[in-house]
Structure 1
Amino acid sequence: MSNSEFCQLDVLEENGEFLLVLEEVRDSWINRNISYDIQEVCRNAREDFERFYQSMPSVPEEYEDAREKAAYVNWSSIVNKLGLLKRDAMFMSKNWMCNVWSWDHCFNALALAYHNPKEAWNQFMIMFDHQSETGRIPDSINDSIIIDNYCKPPIHGWTLRRLKKIMKLDMEQLEEAYEKLSRWTLWWLNYRDQDGDGLCEYTHGNDSGWDNSTPFRMLPPVTLPDLAAFLIIQMEELSVLAEQTGRRADSVLWKERSESMLSRMQEKLFDGGRPKALQTVTGKEVENNSLLLYLPVVLGKKLPEEIRGYLTEQLKSDKFLTEFGLATESPSSELYEADGYWRGPIWAPSTMLLADGLWECGEEDFVRDITHRFCKAVQQSGCAENFDALTGAGLRDRAYTWTASVMLVMAHEYLG
């Protein structure tokens, strides 16, 4: 239907009423002469949604309306396994982002983990069903298409760490996680360290998930501290997994790699606590006012006090903080755009990653504050893909699942 310029429906009226049934057909339609009771169909759908809604993380009463809307966005985006989808999946949206992207799915897995652990694990692992021989995972998938032209940042170790705090994993899951995550991490180490300096780089803005953000205003590849931070956490988590699965030598190796990258990141990508973006080939600093460079706060107290203090101070200032949360480009920047995708609007994933690190740094009050601000945007404008940083208006796709999931998890964890 998405490619049709014109569609005509013929219906047969009976006593002034008609029942119209739309069926999705993979091959050829067969008239099965099924009789539908519209009241029963609606009742079953309501009951199914109510079960799902009640399984979502609890939130303070003031955000219960937002919780119900978030639950509906997520519930309505779940599809059965079919074709290239080897597991039941939650799409990013049923509007037009009808795919699973390889970092979006992590946040949805977290929202499911509290009371739907099987579904959460499937959502977390679904991209790894199409992992390449080299260890790379696709950019996105749906039932009929795999997109490989980009990738997304390796936040999967961070996600697994959070999942383990919410749900219990058995040995089979630990083994699966170790095998998949180790190959994914080695792909970055083997294929994304062009200059051999011990730090990986992004070859395109899309690979970072922050497609058009200002650190990519110069010709990539670009070496950024957020990528190092994600890999440090992922290798640290692999060290834990290796120990849990009896791979003691691997555990030591991953720990050494993690510590080495942490040291290299501090040495090359920070200057007096200030994070830097470097054009990989020339070594030139890319001037920018992007929130992306502050994501290393996700490392929490693993960061030296000087770096931790600088990042926290800037995040708490009016450089990024607005009425509705943390803008992805400073509103004072000449490159700020109200609807500039990653050049201004507030996004769910950046909010949650920063909140997690700030909480680990002991900034509980500030995390509660930005959680309230983000929930206010959702309460006001729904689960939009992103939000105008100054007005809170919803932008782009207006019913996006990672926004719903982040609101649910953050309100539950930080305000519950």
Structure 2
Amino acid sequence: MRSVDGMTAEALARAAGRHLDLETAPFTIPRSRLLVFRAGDGVRVHTSEYERSLEECRVLDALVVHDAHGRVLPVADVQPHRISFGAVAAMAPSPASRAEPPLPSQKVSENGTESDRNRDLSGVSLTFDGLRALSMGGDPAASVRITRPDGSVEEHRIGSGLRLDVADDRSVTVAAQPVGAHAAAEEARAAEWADWFERCPRVRADLQDMAAFCWWVLGANIVELPALAGARAVVPSKIGYVGLWQWDAYFIAVGLRHGDPALAREQLELAFRFPRANGQLPDVVHEEGILATSDDLPESDRANLRRAGSRIADPTAPVPLTKPPLAAWALRKVLEVEDAPDWAAAQLESVIRSQDWWFAGPAENGSDLDGDGLPEYGHPYSSGLDDSPVFDGPIPTTAPDLAAYLVQQDREIAALAARYLPGHDPAPHLSRADRTAQLLVERLWDPVEERFIARGAGERIASDTVLGLLPLRVEGLLAEVRSALVAAIGDPARYGLAWGLPTVSAADPDFSAERMWRGPIWVNTSALIAEGLETAGEPERARALREQTVRLVIHGGGPHEYFNPRTGLKAERATTAFGWSAALFLDLAVALSR
């Protein structure tokens, strides 16, 4: 396939702009806490806050632009740096859009005749002027009508420009701007995006358009966490997911490394920065602190667990909350692109302590809760696959994916320590990895059903899920085990579906095409299992799964949180413009473009 190495930052920004429909992809900019969505012929505005829904974060229910004659000017064009209303062809182009062709004139009927709006209207545009402020400018005779959440309506003439400031309580102040202020804000936003898109990975021509949009997603999802002295977190989504989840940070860093290695390192550093005294890494770092035990959960999460009938909704004692051990994997991948020895050594110390915590017993508040050498998930959230039917049974859960992650992490640590911690003995990690791999097969492999199973509080869990395929990533599996897993991935009755790899076997009674982690396709599990196929000596099948996964994202219209495996489209309740889906699309696209 033809590559697009010469594609300019401006062209990439325009490619991303074609996906900004203000419905599945809102208008926002790096670090801003504002989101703009389409609302009829106008737009609506929300703030972006940790664990709060859009409905709870309403700023303006409607913002509608009118021309000098009172006619509505609908949204005409969206680019990463601005939203344009009305006829935009006559607008003065900004630096990031000078190569754009003019949009067609918009015809309107006036007194029974057609008139060309471009003849007497230069258009109106909206951009951000600060992290919690919007700026509007253009035709001074135009006006904007805003509807607030309390139902009140007011109208303001554009004049020399308007600035809308959003306070912490989401109240909005509207004030006139000095002449040229809006143009300056728009130019600054265009320059900011041009710099971001300059770093966008250049990939195969058939993948570049979606790669540009995915790169936009990562930039748009940057937030500053005030408690962390302005540290930049690339969050899973500005819609509710405003925090740095440990697992998400790993996948996002793996995608970011191809264009911004420093920002990729920053994600890992944040994920590793707040270990508990025993080495456990927290599940989430957010603007109000960290989430490291069940005591830290928001009440909304507890309510969700109760509704789902979870046995862990209200534990009698705090349960540690973390995410699966892919820290060393992410660290290695980020360092492959740009080495940073001193930084790597410091981060590796945190990874080693976290790995040891997984194997510590209950007396040390660790995660080998029965002391048998195979650590357990003490809470569904620690698995990352919160709603998997594996967790319908008793907790704690001995799961094959966790054992596989731990085997590989010990081996990754040994290799990284040899390079970055020369005084660290790798032998204990290697011997522990071999022991864990042995226990994985002895305790969790079912030779009759030819699949890995999970156990909840010692009880067999019958569900056939993607967790049982992830041991394919373990080097040195028995040949018959490896062959059975490869066969399952290709079986059209189980995992070999037309659009990709479901998270529960399509033949399993628990399969649902729409319920989170109970059937939909997720980009992260597909990417990890593609690595497993590579490890199993199946490079062609690994490439085929990667190709299938990027095609799914393109077919589905973007990097959604998860996809319906029957249609290949966004699952109804999935979040759009999702961070790790965007990052892993980029990582897959880079690999497929080599």
TM-score (norm 1): 0.91
Counterpart in the other structure of 1:20: 163
Give the aligned residue type for 1:101.
W
Write the deviation string for residues 183-204 of structure 1: whole angstroms up to 9, x where unpaired.
1111111111122111111122
Structure 1, 382-391 or 52-61: larger mean CA deviation: 52-61
Question: Contact (CA 8 Å) 1:275, 1:293: kept in 2 or not?
Answer: yes
Give the aligned residue type for 1:391.
T
- For CA contacts below 8 A with separation 6 or more, give which structure has more relative contact order: 1
Matched, 1:186 2:356: yes
For the residues of structure 2 that align with 1:303 and 1:260, how far apart are their CA atoms?
13
Q: 2:569 aligns with which of 390, 393, 401?
A: 393
Give the aligned residue type for 1:233.
Q
| 1:258-269 equivalence runs, <5 A | 258-269=433-444
Question: Post-superposition shift, 1:276?
Answer: 2.9
Matched, 1:412 2:590: yes
Question: Contact (CA 8 Å) 2:233, 2:243: kept in 1 or not?
Answer: no
SS at match of 1:130: coil
Counterpart in the other structure of 1:362: 537
Write the deviation string for residues 333-362 of structure 1: whole angstroms up to 9, x where unpaired.
221112110001010110111111212323
1:376/1:173 CA distance change after superposition, 3 Å: same
Counterpart in the other structure of 1:224: 399
For the residues of structure 2 that align with 1:23 and 1:210, how far apart are their CA atoms?
36
Matched, 1:175 2:351: no
Question: Contact (CA 8 Å) 2:502, 2:519: kept in 1 or not?
Answer: yes
Counterpart in the other structure of 1:328: 503
For the residues of structure 1 that align with 2:412 and 2:167, how far apart are their CA atoms?
42
| 1:87-98 equivalence runs, <5 A | 87-98=231-242
Give the aligned residue type for 2:335.
K
| 1:185-334 equivalence runs, <5 A | 185-190=355-360, 191-248=366-423, 250-272=425-447, 274-281=450-457, 283-299=458-474, 301-318=475-492, 319-334=494-509
Q: 1:99 aligns with which of 236, 243, 252?
A: 243
1:14/1:216 CA distance change after superposition, 3 Å: closer
Q: Which has the larger share of strand?
A: 2
Question: Post-superposition shift, 1:144?
Answer: 2.1
Question: Contact (CA 8 Å) 1:84, 1:144: kept in 2 or not?
Answer: no
For the residues of structure 2 that align with 1:69 and 1:155, how far apart are their CA atoms?
26
For the residues of structure 2 that align with 1:344 and 1:387, how far apart are their CA atoms?
9
Question: Post-superposition shift, 1:387?
Answer: 0.5
1:77/1:284 CA distance change after superposition, 3 Å: same
SS at match of 2:279: coil
Counterpart in the other structure of 1:47: 191
Give the aligned residue type for 2:248.
D
Question: Contact (CA 8 Å) 2:394, 2:456: kept in 1 or not?
Answer: no
For the residues of structure 2 that align with 1:216 and 1:22, how far apart are their CA atoms?
45
Question: Post-superposition shift, 1:218?
Answer: 1.1
Counterpart in the other structure of 1:161: 332
Question: Contact (CA 8 Å) 1:201, 1:280: kept in 2 or not?
Answer: no
For the residues of structure 1 that align with 2:400 and 2:586, how far apart are their CA atoms?
28
Q: What is the aligned residue count?
A: 412
For the residues of structure 1 that align with 2:153 and 2:221, how far apart are their CA atoms?
25
Structure 1, 376-385 or 266-275: larger mean CA deviation: 266-275
4+ residue runs over 6 A deviation: 26-34
Give the aligned residue type for 1:305.
A
Question: Post-superposition shift, 1:93?
Answer: 0.6
For the residues of structure 1 that align with 2:57 and 2:254, how far apart are their CA atoms?
37
Question: Contact (CA 8 Å) 2:242, 2:286: kept in 1 or not?
Answer: yes
1:117/1:83 CA distance change after superposition, 3 Å: same
1:51/1:18 CA distance change after superposition, 3 Å: closer
Question: Contact (CA 8 Å) 1:157, 1:230: kept in 2 or not?
Answer: no
For the residues of structure 2 that align with 1:265 and 1:128, how far apart are their CA atoms?
27
For the residues of structure 2 that align with 1:131 and 1:111, how far apart are their CA atoms?
24
Q: 2:581 aligns with which of 400, 403, 411?
A: 403
Give the aligned residue type for 1:393.
L
Structure 2 stretches lacking a partner, 5+ long: 1-46, 59-148, 295-320, 361-365
Question: Post-superposition shift, 1:158?
Answer: 1.8
Question: Post-superposition shift, 1:279?
Answer: 2.6
For the residues of structure 2 that align with 1:157 and 1:105, how far apart are their CA atoms?
12
Counterpart in the other structure of 1:348: 523
Q: 2:275 aligns with which of 103, 112, 131?
A: 131
Structure 1 stretches lacking a partner, 5+ long: none
Matched, 1:62 2:206: yes
For the residues of structure 1 that align with 2:476 and 2:338, how far apart are their CA atoms?
25
Larger Rg, first or second structure (1 or 2): 2
Give the aligned residue type for 2:486.
T
1:248/1:310 CA distance change after superposition, 3 Å: farther
For the residues of structure 2 that align with 1:370 and 1:24, how far apart are their CA atoms?
47
For the residues of structure 1 that align with 2:583 and 2:216, how far apart are their CA atoms?
11
For the residues of structure 2 that align with 1:223 and 1:62, how far apart are their CA atoms?
42
1:10/1:308 CA distance change after superposition, 3 Å: same
Write the deviation string for residues 190-227 of structure 1: whole angstroms up to 9, x where unpaired.
11112211111112222111111122221111111111
Give the aligned residue type for 2:323.
K
For the residues of structure 1 that align with 2:155 and 2:327, how far apart are their CA atoms?
49
Coordinate RMSD, CA, aligned = 2.7
| 1:365-384 equivalence runs, <5 A | 365-380=540-555, 381-384=557-560
Write the deviation string for residues 6-43 of structure 1: whole angstroms up to 9, x where unpaired.
3568664254x752333565999999998573233223
For the residues of structure 2 that align with 1:48 and 1:352, how far apart are their CA atoms?
31
For the residues of structure 1 that align with 2:192 and 2:411, how far apart are their CA atoms?
39
- Percent identity between matched residues is 25
1:253/1:359 CA distance change after superposition, 3 Å: same
For the residues of structure 1 that align with 2:207 and 2:424, how far apart are their CA atoms?
48
For the residues of structure 2 that align with 1:49 and 1:302, how far apart are their CA atoms?
46
Question: Contact (CA 8 Å) 1:324, 1:389: kept in 2 or not?
Answer: yes
Question: Contact (CA 8 Å) 1:156, 1:181: kept in 2 or not?
Answer: yes
Counterpart in the other structure of 1:109: 253
Structure 1, 356-365 or 128-137: larger mean CA deviation: 356-365
SS at match of 1:88: strand
